Amino acid sequence: MSNKVGADAVRPTRNSGWKLFFQTIIARSYPRIIGQQRETSWMLFDIIMPLGSVIGYVLVYKALHAPQEYIGFVVIGGAMMAFWMNVLWSMSSQLYWEKEQGNLALYIMAPNSMMAILLGMALGGMVATLLRSVVIILLGSWMFDIQYTVIDPLQLFAVFALSMTALYGMGMMFASAFLLFGREAWAVSDLVQEPVNLVSGFYFPIKSLPFWVAAAASVIPLTLGLDAMRQLVFSTGLSLGFLTPGVEIGILAGLCVFFLVGAKLLLGYTEKLAIREGRLTEARR
C-alpha cells in the first residue's frame, strides 16, 4: 500500500487546456527569439537589404520633387515589409518545411494544439521582426530627416495591434493551405510576393490605385494598416488616406476575426486529414 502511495506521489502532472496552450506558445516562440541572438549576421542582412530598396525609392521621389511625406511613406512601408516577409516565409510555408524535415508528424501526434504551435512561431517571429522594423525606421528617419506628427497615439497603437493580429492570422491560415498544396507552396510564395508589394502600397499611398483595386487589396491587413498609420503619423496624411482611420480600424478588427477563425478551421481540417489518412494529401484529393 505504501509503495502505491509513493508511486502516485512522484507521478508527474500533465497540463491541459489553456495552461498547456500558453505553455506551447512560449516554448515554440523561444527558439526563434534566441536564434536571432545566436546568428547576429542574419539581423544585419535583414536590416540592410530592406533598407536598400527603401533608399532606392526615396531617391526616386527626391528626383521627382515629391512632397516630404512620400519619403516618410516609403520608410514606414519598408519597415512594415519586414512583417510581410516574415509571415510569407516563416509562417505560411512553415508547416510545409516541417513536413519536409520530418517534424510535422510530431506536431500532429503531440497533445498540443496546432494553433498554439503556430501562435508561438508568430510571436517569436514578430518580436525579432519588430526589432528590425524599429531599426529601419530610426535609420531611415535619421538619414532623410523625416518629421512625424502623431495625431492619436491610441488609434495608432490599435491600428498596429490589429494589423499584426490579422496579418499573422492570415499567415496561420495560409500555413495549412500551403501544406495542402504540397510542393506548390514555394511557387505560391514567390508568386504572391511582388503583387502584394504593389497593391498593398508599401511605397506609395493606396489612394493612388483605382478604388476597386484598393478595396480588393484591403483584404490584405497591411494595406489598411499602412494607410491608417500614415494618416496618423503625418500632418498631411489624412488628405492622402484611402479611408478614415476609424473605418479602417473597424475593417481590421473584422479581418482579425475572419483570419483567426479561418486558421482554426483549416488547422483542424489538416489535423483530421493527417490522422484519418496517415499522411497529408494535396488539396485536390
End-to-end CA distance of the chain: 56
Which tens digits make up the pLDDT trace of 142-170? Answer: 888 888 888 888 999 999 999 988 988 88
Ranges of each domain in the chain: 16-277
Other beta carbons less than 10 A from residue 154's beta carbon: 8
Instruction: Give the global pTM.
Output: 0.81
Least confident of 32-36, 203-207, 212-216: 32-36
Please, what's the largest Cα pairwise distance for the chain?
88
Least confident of 5-14, 91-100, 251-260: 5-14
Residue 2 dihedral angles phi and psi, to the nearest 5°: -65, -35
Whether the per-residue pLDDT at 218 is higher than 70: the answer is yes
Residue 204 dihedral angles phi and psi, to the nearest 5°: -160, 160
* pLDDT at residue 16, as a whole number: 64
Rounded CA separation 226/209 (Å) = 14
Residue 281 dihedral angles phi and psi, to the nearest 5°: -95, 170
DSSP 203-226: SS-GGGS-HHHHHHHTTSHHHHHH
Which tens digits make up the pLDDT trace of 175-186? Answer: 777 777 666 666
Q: What confidence tier does 249 reach under pLDDT thresholds 50, 70, 90?
A: very high
Of residues 126, 114, 143, 131, the one with CA closest to residue 54: 143
Of residues 131, 133, 105, 119, the one with CA closest to residue 22: 119
Other beta carbons less than 10 A from residue 282's beta carbon: 11
Least confident of 40-44, 81-85, 169-173, 208-212: 40-44
Sign of CA dihedral 93, 95, 96, 101: positive
Rounded CA separation 65/135 (Å) = 26
Alpha carbon dihedral 28, 168, 104, 176, in 10-degree steps, equals: 160
Least confident of 52-56, 85-89, 213-217, 244-248: 85-89
**Mean pLDDT score of the chain:** 79
